[in-house]
Structure 1
Amino acid sequence: MAPPSWSRLTVRQRLTATVALLTTLALVAVGATLYVLESRRIDRAIESGISQELGEFRALRSEPDPDTGRPFASAERLLEVFLERNLPDPDEQLFAFPAQGRPSYQGEYDARLQRSAEFPALVRRLSTTGGTRTLRIDGHTYRVAVQPVRVGSSTSAFVVAHDVSASRAYLRELLVTYALLAALSVILVAGVASWSAGRLLSPVRRLRETAQGISDGDLGGRIEVTGHDDLSDLQRTFNAMLDRLEAAFAAQRQLLDDAGHELRTPLTVLRGHLEVLDVDDTEDVAATRTLLLDEIDRMSRLVDDLLMLAKARRPDFVRTRAVDVEALTLGAVDRARALADRSWVLDGVARVNARLDGQRITQALLQLSENAARHTQEGDEIGIGSRLHEGRLELWVRDTGPGVDPALAPTIFRRFAQGEDAHEGFGLGLSIVSAIAEAHGGDVVLDPTDAGATFRIRLPMEAAT
């Protein structure tokens, strides 16, 4: 579990801190690697310089004295000639320690080294065997190489002393400069990371703000989608979810409003008859019972219709499969004949298979047939048919009744829309037909006719195969 102090940070702050930490670790690793490699290079250069000086000194021993042309007569003379001929490298000193007398040197004066007691003591220890040692004086490091010199009976020492600390001083300055630049780089990277994290997380922030709006009851807010990355996909998915939620809440509110509006009248009827019921009058009780059962049946049909309209927006409202449209049309005509004593006619059939929900389409055709039967008289003609027309599958129900009032045509598919000659219906039948058509990606229209009425269900071409 993350510590409380870390968990209280925002995602942007966590990302910035993580990037800054990783950058710091990377720069520290680079600096440490640079220090180790450069230190080894300096050490190799020091050892190489010392070896070169010793090699040149040995080479001089095999040469004659430049003044006499003969071999060197003493070690002191050999050391004197070598110091005259050679200049030491930076941070390096060449010493001649004679058997007798004070030592001489070539190079810059180093008070720390030359005034110390450790340096001559080390030279004396190595004057017979020779060798290279590391010497520390007051926190300063030197690399000292001693080469014994024997000419005749005299023994002297040639000494090369290199100031290691001085050679590494520039490396320390380089690391200080590197540390300052690294610190500035970390600050710059942290600033850029914070800015980038803010831009990358802005869709998440807008999502949170939109979600807060939803919690306050506003389902109309949407996130503005920008870009084509994963967060943009999240925004689109969130917007689609809001669309479904808004549709679900709208359907719920519509169901509650419709139920409250339409159930109030039959409930009032029930209450009124029960209040005036004479329980001692058997005829009144029987009449009231018949009336109440009729009202209950009407309320049951109303509830069923409202539930169907509420389910119409669900993705599983229709279950499509390949359906023989000709067989579906013939079946609808056969079922419609039982609705009323009318002249039922088959106008035509589309001999094609289509992907649709056969039960829902049959339900829509029967609902249209029931409406047609309700607005016609005995002996009137009602036709049912289907066809492929202009790339769409069409199924229709027509009648020879009085037709639809032109003033009612624009609102006829709305819920509870009824004409002046409305019978016992609630005005939900055409709304159900429209919902079924829309669930298939189509629509239902009222054809303009001079006589009667023709309701046509139009389904998209993709539904037909």
Structure 2
Amino acid sequence: MTTDRQRGTDGDGSDRHADPDATTVNVPPGRSRPRGSGNAAPTPSSGGTSVFPTLVLRGPQPELPQRRRVPARLLITAWVVLLMAAVLVLVNVVTWSALTARTDERVDRALDQEIAEFQEFAAVGVDPGTGSAFSDVSSLIRVHLERQFPEDSEILFGWVDEPEEGAADGERSASRGSRGSAEPVTGRIRQGQEPPYDLSADPAKVEAILDTPDARGVLDTPAGPVEWEKIRALPPQGDGGPAGWFVIGYFTAQDDDTSAGTMGTLALVSLGGLLAAATAAWWVAGRILAPVRLVRQTAAEISEEDLTQRIEVSGRDDIAALAEQFNSMLDRLEGAFTEQRRFVDDAGHELRTPITIVRGHLELMGDDPEERREVVRLVTDELDRMGRIVEDLLLLAKAQQPDFVHPEPVSLAELTSDIDAKVRQLGDRDWRLESLAEETAHLDPQRVTQAMVQLAANAVRHTAPGSTLRTGSRVSGSEVRLWVADHGPGIPAEEHGRIFERFSRGGRTARGDRGAGLGLAIVRAIAEAHHGRVDLVSAPGAGSTFTLVIPLTPVDGRVGREHL
């Protein structure tokens, strides 16, 4: 059979764009490289291209340092703990801010309330001793203090500017009263149960409060910080008596201790929650990643000799989908390896047969010139047959590459006429061109011509001289159909699928020989490279019709490579 020269290859079938730095290791038929044997030395080439599976090493392969891998389970747990810790820190900060704000609000409310009550009492209060308005500031402050019930953290006191009877000149004096007592007592004025610290008994603190122009502030005391507020108490109008101050202090230590205790409890709860979250995340991540670990273990156990390992799939989540896809990949790999081994075995057998024949005849060749000429003719014939097998194998290997076909707009009428002119040279048959499609299709004219010539050559081999062979083309819907029909012996239905496989042979030809079994595999490869197919209608004694079916318009992507 005459085949067109393949694109992208030199005369010897090698790829012109091959990497000059690549080292090609040829694997002999029927043998596989031992595992762990390293990179084999390149096999010397005699000008041809190996048709066997090759291992291509792109330049030197330096040994890369092993990077320490962090387990996914640990990463997931670490991220969960990190996020949980961030949330808990935020919760603690917000809680502390809320507690502090609530303490400040309570202190402000207590101070403002006491000041408001004193102002109201100063405006409408009556001296119980006289039954009329207060005549001096000291009495006003003393009576007001006697009627107050401050909280444990509060202290109330007053201070009068001018000295009273019995006080030294220039010394500030105050009136003091106790809860339930109406008798004025000379000295400081304070009211309340035992405060955390008697602020009114500390002259330095009192001076600091009274001398500052601010009406409010904070002081540090042995009992902790105290927030204070003061208000000026003026004598009645027209009375030249001394003025004074009413002061309220609020010790925040107790509230701060309560807030600190709450935060301590919250911190312990947060730490416990963080540990619980870490434990739960570790357990959940382990459960989720269990199928992934199984995938890894299964992948580690897979070898070229054993591809039967599969992952047990349970559930319907993403991990289960991953396991299903992994099992599907293993199925494809197992099929590909099986097909590869069969291909190597079949190719080795097909190539060994002519070599055995040639060797046998050369060993038995005598000195008779006639015998020598016959042996030379036979050897040449066998070598030619082996060369055709190698060319067909190279073509099938080329069919797996993306640039196997180069589609372009083609007139179907011109293409069909060219094919008809070429097939008429294949043999003495009654060639009939049944129809010509007038449309333009997007296909590779050289590959399609190659497939049609192969189908016509098969028809010639299986029919007698003078038999009618019909060719033609037409467009049916979105498909182009080109066919070759004969009136040969036909093909049984059970062999319709098998004859398109590599090294699968049909019945003997009309000349009594059997082909190598690669022709129809090439036809199918060309059809599938165009996203098409080969249809067969045949029955024993009724002849056969092979139809090449190709899409009329371009189709994106590639299909059908799993059969090659």
- Tell me the TM-score normalised to structure 1 length: 0.78
Q: Please say if residues 492 and 538 of structure 2, whose CA atoms lie closer than 8 Å, have aligned partners that are also in contact.
A: no
1:38-437 correspondence to structure 2 within 5 Å: 38-62=99-123, 63-89=125-151, 91-96=153-158, 98=174, 101=186, 103=188, 105-110=190-195, 112-114=196-198, 119=202, 121-123=204-206, 126=209, 132=216, 134-138=218-222, 140-145=224-229, 158-187=246-275, 189-190=277-278, 193-194=281-282, 205=293, 208-209=296-297, 211-212=299-300, 214-215=302-303, 249-278=337-366, 283-388=370-475, 393-404=480-491, 411-414=498-501, 415-421=503-509, 422-423=512-513, 425-437=515-527
Could you tell me how far 1:336 is from its partner in structure 2? 1.0
Q: Identity of counterpart residues, as a percentage? A: 37
Name the structure 2 match of 1:27.
88
**Whole-angstrom distance in 2 between the partners of 1:57 and 1:248:** 98
1:267-308 CA distance string (max 9 Å, x none)? 112222333345x66555444333322221111111122233
Could you tell me how far 1:435 is from its partner in structure 2? 3.4
1:66-117 CA distance string (max 9 Å, x none)? 431444355542232102333325632323563675656433323x413x89
**Whole-angstrom distance in 2 between the partners of 1:329 and 1:387:** 10
Task: Look up the equivalent residue of 2:253 and give its one-letter code.
Answer: S
Task: Give 1 or 2: higher helix fraction.
Answer: 1
Does the residue aligned with 1:168 lie in a helix, a strand or coil? helix
**Whole-angstrom distance in 1 between the partners of 2:217 and 2:154:** 15
Does the residue aligned with 2:197 lie in a helix, a strand or coil? helix
Unaligned runs of 5+ in 2: 1-66, 160-173, 176-184, 556-564
Give the alignment's Cα RMSD to 1 decimal.
Answer: 4.3
Does the residue aligned with 2:447 lie in a helix, a strand or coil? helix
Task: Look up the equivalent residue of 1:455 and give its one-letter code.
Answer: T
Q: Please say if residues 134 and 142 of structure 1, whose CA atoms lie closer than 8 Å, have aligned partners that are also in contact.
A: yes
Does the residue aligned with 2:434 lie in a helix, a strand or coil? strand
Identify if the C-alpha distance between structure 1 residues 16 and 464 changes in structure 2 by more than 3 Å, giving closer, same or farther.
closer
Does the residue aligned with 2:134 lie in a helix, a strand or coil? coil
Q: Please say if residues 127 and 147 of structure 1, whose CA atoms lie closer than 8 Å, have aligned partners that are also in contact.
A: no
Q: Which segment drifts farther, 297-306 or 372-381? A: 372-381
Task: Look up the equivalent residue of 1:108 and give its one-letter code.
Answer: Q
Alignment: residue pair count: 455
Matching residue within 445, 448, 463 for 2:539: 448
**Whole-angstrom distance in 2 between the partners of 1:87 and 1:38:** 26
Task: Look up the equivalent residue of 1:50 and give its one-letter code.
Answer: L
Q: Please say if residues 96 and 156 of structure 1, whose CA atoms lie closer than 8 Å, have aligned partners that are also in contact.
A: yes
**Whole-angstrom distance in 1 between the partners of 2:212 and 2:461:** 130
Matching residue within 69, 77, 80 for 1:16: 77
**Whole-angstrom distance in 2 between the partners of 1:25 and 1:413:** 65
- Tell me the TM-score normalised to structure 2 length: 0.66
Task: Look up the equivalent residue of 1:456 and give its one-letter code.
Answer: F
Q: Please say if residues 483 and 547 of structure 2, whose CA atoms lie closer than 8 Å, have aligned partners that are also in contact.
A: yes
Q: Please say if residues 122 and 140 of structure 2, whose CA atoms lie closer than 8 Å, have aligned partners that are also in contact.
A: yes
Q: Please say if residues 527 and 550 of structure 2, whose CA atoms lie closer than 8 Å, have aligned partners that are also in contact.
A: no
Task: Look up the equivalent residue of 1:379 and give its one-letter code.
Answer: G
Does the residue aligned with 2:505 lie in a helix, a strand or coil? coil
Could you tell me how far 1:334 is from its partner in structure 2? 0.8
Unaligned runs of 5+ in 1: 1-5
Identify if the C-alpha distance between structure 1 residues 367 and 154 changes in structure 2 by more than 3 Å, giving closer, same or farther.
closer
Task: Look up the equivalent residue of 1:23 and give its one-letter code.
Answer: M
Task: Look up the equivalent residue of 1:29 and give its one-letter code.
Answer: L
Could you tell me how far 1:215 is from its partner in structure 2? 4.6
**Whole-angstrom distance in 1 between the partners of 2:339 and 2:253:** 84
